[in-house]
Amino acid sequence: MEAADFGSFQWHHDAWGRKINVMFLFTDVTDLDQHMTFLEGSHQAYHNLDRCRNSRFTEDEVLERFPGTARTRCTGGAGTVFIFDSNGLHRGNRSTGRHRDTLITSFNGGRYVWSFDVPASHQGALTEDQNIFLQRWSKIAWKGHP
């Protein structure tokens, strides 16, 4: 794929609250392949509500907001693991090199989880322990009748 700036191939952050991302490489990834780049120190930036809704940054915005900031290319052999703050700016890099196969997951403290609705009809599919846990959690609202 030719280089391009769109979607996750633009500088962006994943943050809506504090989270840690963990990326596992399942394929070897070199500088010539479709790797991720992380902007060092950018995890300390404050993003206002507009920048949370529109989390994409142009290269010019990155140069203006983070002048001279080092960039880390996330490359390595299959099995390499990268752990990074989701608030930090990062991007995928399209190239004519190999694609990367990864698993990316996020971890956060429960206080950073936003409230969400669960259809009450799903309650019957849960174990007793799951129901007890979810009933006690103030961030969950059951919608509808079971």
Residue 60, phi-psi category: left (phi > 0), alpha (psi -120 to 50), beta (remainder): alpha
Specify the CATH class of 7-108 in words. Answer: mainly beta
Q: In percent, how much of the chain has pLDDT > 70?
A: 83
Between 82 and 45, whose confidence is greater? Answer: 82
Looking at residues 126-131, what average pLDDT do you find?
Answer: 86
Cβ–Cβ < 8 Å for 19, 83: no
Query: Over 90: is that where the pLDDT of 130 sits?
Result: no
State the pTM of this model. Answer: 0.68
pLDDT in tens, 27-79: 999 998 888 999 998 888 877 666 667 778 888 999 998 999 999 999 999 99
Domains of the chain by residue range: 7-108, 115-146
